[in-house]
Amino acid sequence: MKTLILFFILLPLNSLAQEFEILYTSQVNNNDNIYLINHLGRIKQITTHPRKDSSPMISPNGKQMVFTSERVGWWKIWILDLENNDYRQLTNSGSAEYSPSWSLDGSRIVFVSGRNGGAEIYTMNPDGQDIKQLTSNKKNTMPSWGSDNRIYYSSQVSGVYQIWHMNPDGSDQQQLTSDKGDKLMAQLAPDQKSILYYGNRDGNMEIYTMEVSSENVNRLTDDGLMDIRPRWSPDGKRIVFERGNKRSNQQIYIMDADGSNQLQLTKTGYNYSPSFMR
């Protein structure tokens, strides 16, 4: 794997006290590849394929990266062994397959596939074997594996995406929200006290948390551009997300878990799908 250091961004000094590494996708010359940026602003290119690579998620042991790719056609799930630079295709249906996320122990991957005529949630082993369908209503998206070992996801109810969760085998599916506005990319905090998501309840796409015990909703961002696709840091103290218009200007940001200390990491172009490497 050839690694390319592109440039440095001089970040404010107060950001350097907390080290981080963030995976994300960047479109350069109409080609999407996966990159890594750290707290010093140092950027490395991870994938260098002429077809689109996107949505990277690191395994719990830090040795593998699952991602979506158009290397062999429509979106499929791929995995990269970071120790030996080994790429493997995990899914191969005739439909788009995307939004991969790891189980807590790294033994399963949850993802979305349209292989049976609708957007359903599935799990599989990291070698692509033992694929199991968990949902069956054709309107599901953006699953994540919670620290309580339940899968959190969005499912459309009466035309609105609401937050649901279920057991890893698909049993005990429960709806957690029912108010106005789409709620997408739901993720339980590492301390299990709140659920992170983005939605449009206030008219624009913004980032929110919902307290598990009280169901109180806290708005974390308030910007004229769209704030979308947030991810928790492993310790739950910070959130990475993207802000932009989903066209020519889409940048990666990081902030504290309460929405304070928002810091822009990338400066130009179209950048998306961030997640913490560590």
Q: Is 258 within a domain?
A: no
Q: Is 7 within a domain?
A: no
CA distance 178 to 10: 43
Q: Is 23 within a domain?
A: no
Residue 92 phi, psi (nearest 5): -155, 40
Q: Domain with 122 in it: what CATH number?
A: 2.120.10.30
Q: Is 236 within a domain?
A: no
Number of structural domains in the chain: 1
Q: Is 42 within a domain?
A: no
Instruction: Place 247 in a pLDDT band, splitting at 50, 70 and 90.
Output: confident
Q: Is 247 within a domain?
A: no
Instruction: Place 278 in a pLDDT band, splitting at 50, 70 and 90.
Output: confident
Q: Is 245 within a domain?
A: no
CA distance 242 to 252: 5
What is the model's pTM?
0.93
Cβ neighbors of 246 (< 8 A, separation 6 or more) are 226, 228, 270, 272
Q: Is 270 within a domain?
A: no
The DSSP call for residue 70 is -
Kindly report, residue by residue over 123-160, the tens digit of the pLDDT: 999 999 999 999 999 999 999 999 999 999 999 999 99
Full domain range(s) for residue 110: 51-188
